[in-house]
Structure 1
C-alpha cells in the first residue's frame, strides 16, 4: 500500500508540473497589453477578495450587564459618548419586516446591489438637479455605516463593490443585524437596542408594531428624533409605513389601528440602574461587552428595596452605607449583588463598592479559628476556656459587654463572640498558623507578615472584603455539603458572577481540604445558637428558619458585619460609613444582622446540613468542663459528644479532682487528721482561683472548696487558694502619664478563694498594704524588673515576676 500511494503522489506531481508548464507557455505567447490586463485583473480580484477589513466596525460600544435570564440590569455609555450597544446576532421580527419594507423590499433577492434602484435614483436626481434618492440597499447602507466616509459618486461606487463582497461573507440575517446595531437613531443613540431602551424604556425584543415602525424610518432622517422638532413629519413617515404593512398583509387591521394610536416618545428614558456597582465593575474590567451575569433581577430588586428601607432607618443615626451579597450555594452563583445604597445620589460615598473594599474584620473571623482548632484536635467543642481579664505584653482585650464569665464553653464563647476566650485560643493555636489558614481560605488583604497583626488578628486587627469573607464561609459550608453528597472533598472555586465564566465542567477532588466536614459542621452548629448579647430583636429572629450566623463589629464602631449560611444560601451584610466614621450603636447585631435576616425572609426556605458521621466520632465528655471524661468525673455529669477524629486525643478533664471531706461536708480533711469529724471521698469540680472569682458571679450553683478543718490546716499550704488576675507572669507593663503630666498607676488584681481573707502585698522587699474582699492594689513602680509577693493571713504566699518599661 505504501508504494502504491507514493506512485499516486508522484503521478499527481507530474500532472501539476505539466499544467504549470503549459500555462507559462500560454502566458509567454500573450501580447504585452494582454499581460498588463491580466495582471490588473488579478490585482483587482485579490483586492476584491481582501477588500473587507477584518473588523467591519471599528466602534466603541456601551457596556451592558444582564441578569441570568438576559434582562438588562444596567449599562455604561461608550467611550465616544454614544449609546451604542454591542452588536446583536439577530433582529426582532417586527423590526425586520418594517425595515425591509421601508428601506429595501427586495433585500432577500439581490446580491447586495439593486441595479433598478440605482438607475431609478439616478433619474430622480438628474430631474431634481440634486440628490433626492441614493438607491442604496440595506447592504450598501451597512457598508456606508462601516466606512463613515464623505458621500461622493466614487464612494458610492466603492459601496457597490463592497456590498457584493459583504454578501459573500455574511448571511442576510447577519447583514440585517450589523445594520440594526449601527444605524443612527438620533442624538447620541445608535442601533435599535439602545434606541428601544432610550425611547421606549424596554428591550428591542418587546417592540410593538408602532415602535418598530418608528425605528425603521428613523435612520432615514435621524434628526427627526429630536424631541420637539418635526414630530409631525416623523409621525407621518411612521403611519405611511404602517399603511404599507397593512396593504401588503404583513399586519392585520387590528394591529394597524392599535399601532396608529401609539404616541411618539416625548422624552428619553433612563436606562435601568439595577446592581449599579456590578455594572460599574463590569465597565472597568470588560468595557464594551455585553455581560450575562448570574444575578436574578427580580431578587436583586427585592433585595435593593430591603436595603433602602433599612438605610433610611440607619441614616437617622449617621450611618449611610450598606452592602449585601446573596449567593446560591448549590450553584455557587451570586444571585444578588448590592455594593452600596444610594448609587444615583452619589452622596456619602454611595458609589464605593463596599463588597470589594477592605474593611476592619472585627469578630467575623472567629469561626475559622474555632473550626481550625477543632479539626486539629487542640480544642473540643464544649471545652472550658478562660474568660478573665488578661494582659499579654500590653495587649489587654476586653469583651464587648466589659464583663467576664470566668470560664465559658468554647461553642458558647463562639456564639456569644467573647473576645478573651478567642485571644486565649489564638495564643494556644499560634498566630502564624492561623494567618496561613486565613490566606488559604482566600483572604487577599493580609499584606503584612503574621507578627505584624499578632493576637489582634482575631479581633479585627486586619482588613477583609465582604467578597473574600463570604467566600470563606461558603467554603466551610461546602465542605459539609460535598462530603455528605459525594463522600469526598472538591477544590474550591470562588463565587461565579458571570454566566460565561470559563470554568471546567468537572470539579477536581481536593486531596488536602482546608476544612474538615466534621469540624465545619460543628462550627455551623455552634453558630445557630442565639445566645448573643441582647442587642437584637429576638422575637423577630425566633420566627425565622435555622441559620448559622455570625456578626462582627470593628474597633470604634466603624464596621458592622453579619454572615448567615444555610444549605441553600449565603447572605453577607456590611453596614457603616464608607468614610470610616464610627457611630454609636453601629454593631453587627443591631444593624447588619437584622438586614441579613430580612434578606433571608425573601429567599425560599431550606433544610439543615446533614451530619457528616463519617468525619465524626462519639466520645464521653464531662458536662462541666467540656473535656474528655477524666478519672474523677462523676457518671451523672457524663455526656456523649460528636467530635472530629483528632478530638479523640483532646484534653482530659482536669477540673474534677478527688478530695476528702468530713462527714458533714463542712471541712476538708486528711486520713491522719480527720479524727471525730469522719472522712468521705467525693469528686469536686474546681476552677483556678482567677476563673472562680468571676465564674461564681455567673453560676451561683458553683461551690468553692470548703476550708481545711483546724486539725488539718497545716496541710493546705500547697493548695492554690490565690491566683493573680493581673498581670500575667513575665508581663511587660507600660505605665502612661496622666493628663496633668504625673505618672500613672497600674492596678494589680488577685483572686482568693475566700475573699474575706486579709492579703498582704509586697513589692520586692517593700510592704505596700493589705486588702480584703476586693483584692486590688494600685502601684506605680519605676522602670525595671520586679517581684510582687502576696501573703494571706493563713501564711499562704504567691509571687509573680514582671517588668515595667
Structure 2
C-alpha cells in the first residue's frame, strides 16, 4: 500500500474508518462466499467407446442416474433452456432485475408465490445448496449467483445447471435424461426432444412422462412456438417438432461390454471413461460369443471370453469378458479376461522364442519325444503317444508336451519364470520352485489379458513398435491405461507395486521364427488355407489345461491379436473342452470379423546364413551329407553341431559294421550314418519307416562306443511309490528297455539276482521291496546297461 494512501486513511474519522473496515470485510466475504466446488454428489460411472458412443453405465451410489458433469451444452438444448427459463441469460450478471420485479408484482397481486424470477445462475446455486425455498435463501442465492458469474463463463454455468437439474424419478442431468427418455445421446436430441427436456426440470414431480402427460405436451408445444417465433425454428422444422409424440416409457441404458463397464466401475467409480473399444466391433464380437455360447451350452460348457487388441496402437478394441452377462446362471458375470486360469500349452511359444533368442535352440533342431520321469513328474503328450524325436518347430506347431518339458529343463525354470514376469504375467507371482517343470504345461495361472497382450507385444516387435501394457483408455483420459493403475495391480499381484512390462523384451528375429512355426498349426477348418488367396496367415496357438477345465486360443496378424478362452467359470472340467476344438473355431470366426492383412515383413539385418543338417536341424557336422543353407539368428551359431551323424565302416553288403583293424584286405564300404540314441530310435522308427538303425558289429570285431540299448523306464535316480493293491499286496512297477536291434535277447538282473530273459519286446513287471535297487540288462552281444532307482516306503 502506498504511503500516501496510508496517510489518507489515518486522517479519516473513526466512523469512516469503521465503515471502511466493514466494507473491506464485506468485500472479502463476498470474494470467499462461493465454495470452490459447488456440487458434492456421487455420479454414475459412464463408459463410452473410442468415438464417444455410450457402452454402458452404473448407477450412482445414492441410487440416482446422474452422469458426470458436462463441459458444454448442445445448441438445441441451449436455445430451449434460455428461451424457457431465462431469456436474458446472456445479458445479466446472475440476477435479472426485470424478472425479479415482475415476479414480485405477480406474487403480490395473487397473494401467493406464483413466480420466483430466478435466473439459470440462481437455479444452479439452488441445486447446489439444496436449502428450503425462503425469502432469506432467495437473497443468498442472488448473492452467490453474482459471485458465480465472476468465476465461470456463461457456457460453464449452463453446463453446471443442466448436469444437475432433476428430470423426474431418479434421473438427474441432461445426459442421463436423454438416454433414459429417448435412448440416445444429448447431442442427437431433436427440437421436440430438447424442448421436452427443457420444460421437465421446472416441475419434475408434478409433470412427468407417466403423469400429466397432456400438461407436459402443451408446455413443450408452447416452447416450440416461442422458438419458432424467435426465428430459431423454420416452419417445416416447427411442424415436424409438433408432430413428434412424447416417449411412452423410459429406455434401458445400453449394455454393451458390460464386464468392461463393471471393471471401470471398480477402478474409476463416478467418472466418465472413454475406452479404446470400438462399439461396432464390440457388438459383432458379443453376438458371435452369444452364438458360440449357445452351441457350447449343449455340452454344458457355459462361459466364453474374447479379447481383441489393435497391435498398431496397442489398444483393446473389443472386450467380451464373458458371454450372456444378463443370464442369472452362476459365473456369467465373472470377467474371465481378468480371471487367473491354468495356462495349458499357451506359454510354449514364449519358451521357444526365449531359447531361439538365447541361442540354445535352432528352429528345426530335433528334440526327444520319449517317456520321461523327472522326480516323479511324468508328462504325457495329448495323444498319449511318443515319436522318439521331433523338430522343435513341429513340436511347437503340434503342441507336444514332452519336447516342451525337455526344452524348459534345458533352458531353466528360474530363467523362464523371470522371462514371463518381464513379459507382464502378473499372476505368475510365486517362486519358480513352486511351479517346476509343470510351468510349461499349465502349472501356472495367467489371465487372458496378460496372455493376449504378450502375444500382441510379440507382433509389435515385428512392426518395430514400442512394447508395453495394452491400453483400455483413450489418450488424455487422465491415466496411461486403466490396466496399469495401482488399483488393478493390487488386484492381480501379491505386491502393491504394479508390474511393468519390459520394453524391447521381444526381438523381431526370434519372433519371426516363432510366428513362422505358429502359422503351421492346423486350423479348425479341414481345408488347405494356403491354397486360398483370400485367406491370410495367422500365427496362432491353442492350450488345454489339466482336467479339461480351460480351453485357450490366441492368434496374431500384423493388425490384430485375438485371445479366446472357453470353459466354466466355476472350474468344472468337460471332456470336449479342448483348445483346438472349442476356442480355435471361435478365434477364426473373430478374425473373420476383422480386416485381413498381409503377413509381416521378414526382419532385415537380424539373420545370418548357416549350413543346417537336413535330418537333425543342428548346425552341419563333419559327417552330415545333406544340408541346407538357412537364415538363423547369430546366437544360434553357438549351438552344437549335429551329434547324430557318424562315420561307419561296413561290410560290402552293408549288413555288418567292421572295426578298421579287422578289415584287412576285405572290401569295405564307408558311410555317414544317421543314428539316434536307443530310446529315441525305438519310437522314431515306428513313425519313420525310412529310418535305418545301425547294423551290428561283426562278432569279435570291435565294440560300439554307443550302447545299443537304453532304459525307457525307470530313469536314473527315479523315486517310485508303489500303491497297495485291492487285496493289500504291494503294487508292481513295469520296467522297459529299448534296443537298437529288435532280434537281440536281453537278460535281466535285479540287485545281482537273475530275473528272466526277453526278446522282441523288452518289458517286465517287478515287485521290489522298499529301498534302493539296481536293475541291470545284458544283451546276447555282451552289452550291459544298469540303472539305480528307489522304491518309497
TM-score by length of 1: 0.93
Q: Tell me the SS of whatever aligns to 1:163.
A: helix
Distance 1:320 1:512 in 2: 37
1:688: which partner in 2? Answer: 677
Alpha-carbon offset, residue 717 of structure 1? 5.7
1:796: which partner in 2? Answer: 783
Contact map agreement 1:551 1:589 (CA 8 A) in 2: yes
1:415 is matched with which residue: 382, 397, 409? 397
Change in CA separation of 1:360 and 1:694 when aligned onto 2, cut-off 3 Å: same
Contact map agreement 1:218 1:224 (CA 8 A) in 2: no
2:580: which partner in 1? Answer: 589
Alpha-carbon offset, residue 39 of structure 1? 2.3
2:630: which partner in 1? Answer: 641
Distance 1:470 1:624 in 2: 35
Distance 2:583 2:153 in 1: 55
After superposition, the C-alpha distances for 1:715-757 in whole angstroms (9 at most, x for unaligned) are: 2365421111111112222222234443211111100112232
Counterpart mapping for 1:702-741 below 5 A: 702-709=691-698, 712-716=699-703, 718-741=705-728
Does 1:463 pair with 2:445? yes
Counterpart mapping for 1:199-238 below 5 A: 199-224=181-206, 226-238=208-220
Alpha-carbon offset, residue 667 of structure 1? 2.2
Counterpart mapping for 1:541-620 below 5 A: 544-620=535-611
Does 1:478 pair with 2:460? yes
Contact map agreement 2:345 2:442 (CA 8 A) in 1: yes
Change in CA separation of 1:500 and 1:738 when aligned onto 2, cut-off 3 Å: farther
Counterpart mapping for 1:120-519 below 5 A: 120-224=102-206, 226-482=208-464, 490=466, 492-500=468-476, 513-519=504-510
Which consecutive unaligned segments of at least 5 residues does structure 2 have? 482-500
Q: Tell me the SS of whatever aligns to 1:539.
A: coil
Contact map agreement 1:293 1:499 (CA 8 A) in 2: no
Contact map agreement 1:292 1:500 (CA 8 A) in 2: no
Q: Tell me the SS of whatever aligns to 1:761.
A: strand
Which stretch of the first structure deviates more once superposed, 243-252 or 268-277? 243-252
Alpha-carbon offset, residue 477 of structure 1? 2.2
Q: Tell me the SS of whatever aligns to 1:287.
A: coil
Distance 2:443 2:132 in 1: 64
Residue correspondences, number = 770
Contact map agreement 1:724 1:751 (CA 8 A) in 2: yes
2:527 is matched with which residue: 539, 549, 552? 539
1:48: which partner in 2? Answer: 30
Q: Tell me the SS of whatever aligns to 2:690.
A: coil
1:697: which partner in 2? Answer: 686
Which stretch of the first structure deviates more once superposed, 679-688 or 113-122? 113-122
1:3: which partner in 2? Answer: none
After superposition, the C-alpha distances for 1:12-52 in whole angstroms (9 at most, x for unaligned) are: xxxx55224313423xx3133x3333222222111111111
2:771 is matched with which residue: 781, 784, 791? 784
Distance 2:658 2:46 in 1: 84
1:90: which partner in 2? Answer: 72
Contact map agreement 2:210 2:249 (CA 8 A) in 1: no
2:492: which partner in 1? Answer: none
Change in CA separation of 1:425 and 1:467 when aligned onto 2, cut-off 3 Å: same
Distance 1:785 1:442 in 2: 45
1:13: which partner in 2? Answer: none
Q: Tell me the SS of whatever aligns to 2:593.
A: coil
Contact map agreement 1:224 1:231 (CA 8 A) in 2: no
Distance 1:602 1:537 in 2: 16
2:744: which partner in 1? Answer: 757
Distance 2:790 2:768 in 1: 9
Alpha-carbon offset, residue 707 of structure 1? 2.8
After superposition, the C-alpha distances for 1:480-537 in whole angstroms (9 at most, x for unaligned) are: 221xx8xxxx5634434443356899xxxx99842232112111111111258xxx33
Change in CA separation of 1:683 and 1:717 when aligned onto 2, cut-off 3 Å: closer
Distance 1:294 1:512 in 2: 22
Distance 2:213 2:438 in 1: 68
Contact map agreement 1:658 1:684 (CA 8 A) in 2: yes
Alpha-carbon offset, residue 413 of structure 1? 0.5
Contact map agreement 2:276 2:474 (CA 8 A) in 1: yes
Distance 1:226 1:92 in 2: 22
Distance 1:41 1:769 in 2: 117
Q: Tell me the SS of whatever aligns to 1:785.
A: strand
Change in CA separation of 1:260 and 1:512 when aligned onto 2, cut-off 3 Å: closer
| Root-mean-square deviation (Å) | 1.9
Distance 1:313 1:426 in 2: 37
Contact map agreement 1:185 1:215 (CA 8 A) in 2: yes
Contact map agreement 1:187 1:225 (CA 8 A) in 2: no
Contact map agreement 1:118 1:136 (CA 8 A) in 2: yes
1:31: which partner in 2? Answer: 14
Distance 1:512 1:327 in 2: 18
After superposition, the C-alpha distances for 1:565-599 in whole angstroms (9 at most, x for unaligned) are: 11111001111111011111111111111111111
Q: Tell me the SS of whatever aligns to 1:597.
A: helix
After superposition, the C-alpha distances for 1:680-728 in whole angstroms (9 at most, x for unaligned) are: 101111011101111111111111112334xx44523654211111111
